[in-house]
Structure 1
């Protein structure tokens, strides 16, 4: 008797194979046949779960975005002052990306190829806007609490996102960069650098 495979497990297996292939070869160079081979299934099995490459890319992006939204929600609603919650957000984003480097590579591939809106449901600029908005809120809270320098705002939030993104781009281009060890320096610049003098 043939072994029955749970459809949800099969879909997840195919999606993980797609993420590996997109990260390894780039989205443009990856065919559905490549994904099927990586997943160890027939090409038709891929189409049972996804309409094609764009649907796989959208699903991968939505999985990443779901994790990112959970991290942002935790920072917005968690304990501590605004700077403490910002520090937690920065740490969590780095931890999330280091744990799933293939998804980070796909995002960079999309960014570099200028495909931000080309595939249905893949809106990388919206993801950046969500991060910037959350960080600006945390900085506003920190200023109101008296722990952050006066005058911080949306521009500072964009710089924090840029610092995190820049670090991740360096790591993807040069995997020898010990990105997991750079959380401290990143927090020194992006969080402690905004602390009001004398505030602890």
Structure 2
């Protein structure tokens, strides 16, 4: 009997290594050698599984988006009350550390859309999935009687996503006047006005507990 191919496992190992490399040094100066160093292999091994570095980077971005969206959806699926869902979604949508690997990777690729049309498609998918998530939360909140929306659902959802993106960039840039908790509170301030729900408030005690953690982070 033929032994199972190790190729998928090794490719996945290289994707994880490339993710770390992008998160730590960005895309602009990334080389195959950097991925190989993170993976603990020679450069030839990277070329063997990914002859074109751009193919590997597309897979890194695709998987980062999938992780972010899937983990976020899983988090809010455990809650019944739309108010809890919205607060949790907003909390998980921003980086709580400037060195948050997953969010750094997402922003690196988002700002590189002009380099590769595939990136642009993935970025649009990321935005669309987040808007759809907020759409659902807002509709649930309205049905539960918690939200009295002051604008169309799609508009509020899009604004929430754009606020996350904008504040996220400031956090990753280390802007001292925009720490994560402040950004979180400002997003919820908009949400309160848009939903007419004064109960959408930040709890500083659990902000670190419910953020999306990188894989393997058990803190």
User: For structure 1, which segment, 134-143 or 178-187, has the greater mean C-alpha deviation from structure 2 after superposition?
Assistant: 178-187
User: For structure 1, which segment, 17-26 or 141-150, has the greater mean C-alpha deviation from structure 2 after superposition?
Assistant: 17-26
Aligned twin of 1:62: 62
TM-score, length-scaled by structure 2: 0.70
Select the structure that is richer in helix.
Answer: 1
**Distance between the aligned counterparts of 1:177 and 1:143, measured in 2?**
34
Residue 123 of structure 1 and its aligned partner are, at CA, apart by 0.8
With over 3 angstroms needed to count, the CA separation of the structure-2 counterparts of 1:31 and 1:92, relative to structure 1, is same
**Distance between the aligned counterparts of 1:46 and 1:161, measured in 2?**
35
TM-score, length-scaled by structure 1: 0.76
Aligned residues: 194
Aligned twin of 1:161: 161
With over 3 angstroms needed to count, the CA separation of the structure-2 counterparts of 1:70 and 1:198, relative to structure 1, is closer
CA contact (8 A) 1:23 1:102 kept: yes
Q: Secondary structure at the match of 1:94?
A: coil
Aligned twin of 1:146: 145
Aligned twin of 1:128: 127
CA contact (8 A) 1:131 1:161 kept: yes
CA contact (8 A) 2:170 2:178 kept: no
Aligned twin of 1:85: 85
Question: CA RMSD for the aligned pairs?
Answer: 3.3
Runs of 4+ in 1 over 6 A off after TM superposition: 6-9
Residue 151 of structure 1 and its aligned partner are, at CA, apart by 3.9
Describe the superposition over 1:150-199 as per-residue Cα deviations: whole angstroms up to 9, x where unpaired. Answer: 34411111111111111110012226567443465145324433443677
Aligned twin of 2:213: none
**Distance between the aligned counterparts of 1:108 and 1:188, measured in 2?**
22
Unaligned 5+ segments in structure 1 are 1-5
With over 3 angstroms needed to count, the CA separation of the structure-2 counterparts of 1:99 and 1:73, relative to structure 1, is farther
Q: Secondary structure at the match of 1:64?
A: helix
With over 3 angstroms needed to count, the CA separation of the structure-2 counterparts of 1:177 and 1:9, relative to structure 1, is farther
**Distance between the aligned counterparts of 2:175 and 2:14, measured in 1?**
26
Unaligned 5+ segments in structure 2 are 1-5, 201-219
